[in-house]
Amino acid sequence: MFYTSLTTFITLAAFVSATPTPTSSENFVTAFARAPSCTFPTPPKTSSLTSARTITGTFDGGNIRFDRGKGACGGQKEGGEKETVFLLSEGAVLKNVIIGANQAEGVHCLGSCTLENVWFEDVCEDAVTIKQKSGISTIRGGGAKNASDKVIQHNGGGTVVIKDYCVQNFGKLYRSCGNCSSQQKRSVIISNVIATNGKLIAGVNSNFGDVATITKSSLQLSSVSSMCDTFKATVGSGEPTKLTSNKANSSCKF
């Protein structure tokens, strides 16, 4: 008994002294990360919502599958807030939820939000759209499958943190909006991700000063073409131009 507690004490003491003091948000994120998992939970039931559900505060879905009913995914047509499954208000936390294939817009965050263990079984247009004006939104745990284009679309400002995440069969895990009518500097911090069969981890607009910080050593990559691409984005219309692919610089830190 004494020996066990002593061992525990020594182990803890060693852990505490070995844990670096977080000096930046990136260190903070990686120091307290959990292992990502690609084991999608089995839902006890499916709930088909007839309209988007607005979340304020915390909603724990108990791993129920939520969707918007048959035929709700209309391909890659850019949809709006009415087509979401969940609409998160400033400060909202959505956890332990499965988003099924029958939906168009997944989750939109109107302010800073937290998604914890939110699983997208089959992404339609995009999985998560971040519209916060500033601040930090965090997506941790959970994962997304079969996003022909984007998983996390950052249209607002501030920072998005993606960690302990799984992404399989995807176009882009993260993209800072390439042609939004209101453009600004955006940041993304990515760590502890299992990424399989995809084109791009992060796409940023170097002409608006975006910065992607990716802890590459913490990623488990398989058949992923590029860590980070820079683009020259437009304002309001047209298509952005790709500038660099899979090259590290101060816009793409990895």
Ligand X SMILES: *[C@@H]1O[C@H](CO)[C@@H](O)[C@H](O)[C@H]1NC(C)=O
Q: Does 205 bind ligand X (CB under 6 A)?
A: no
Residues 6+ apart with CB under 8 A from 112: 90, 91, 132, 135, 136, 137, 158
Closer residue to ligand X in complex, CB, 55/204: 204
Contact 119, 100 (CB under 8 A): no
CB 86 within 8 A of CB 107: yes
Which run of H or of E encompasses 247?
Answer: none
Interface of this chain with ligand X, residues 157 to 186, rule: CB under 6 A: 169, 178-179
Taking Cα atoms as reference points, which of 18, 15, 31, 24 lies closest to residue 163? 31
Q: Which range of residues in 11-19, 134-142, 155-163, 242-250 is near ligand X by CB under 6 A?
A: 242-250
* Segment 222 to 241, residues that bind ligand X, using CB under 6 A: 230, 237-239
Q: Give least dist CB 27 to ligand X, A.
A: 21
Q: Which of 33, 49, 64, 243 binds ligand X (CB under 6 A)?
A: 243
Site string for ligand X, 89-128 (x = CB under 6 A): ------------x--------------------x------
Q: Which is nearer to ligand X, 19 or 223 (CB)?
A: 223
Please state, in angstroms and rounded to a whole number, the distance separating the CA atoms of residues 15 and 215.
21
**Residues of span 31-90 touching ligand X by CB under 6 A:** 78
Contact status, residue 227 vs residue 202, Cβ threshold 8 Å: yes
Q: Which is nearer to ligand X, 17 or 250 (CB)?
A: 250
By CB under 6 A, tell whether 248 contacts ligand X. no
Strand partners, 136: 159
Q: Which of 178, 185, 88, 90 is nearest to 127 (CA)?
A: 88
Find the distance separating the first CA and the last CA of the chain, reported in whole Å: 46
Binding-site residue total for ligand X (CB under 6 A)?
18
Least distance from ligand X to the Cβ atom of residue 231, Å: 9
Residue 124's φ and ψ, nearest 5 degrees, are -100, -100
Residue 179 or 218: the one with the smaller Cβ distance to ligand X is 179
Q: Give the nearest distance from C-beta 165 to ligand X in angstroms.
A: 17
Question: Phi/psi of residue 153, each to 5°?
Answer: -110, 120
Task: List binders of ligand X among 134-153 (CB under 6 A).
Answer: 145-146
Residues that bind ligand X (CB under 6 A): 78, 101, 122, 145-146, 169, 178-179, 206, 230, 237-239, 243-244, 249-251
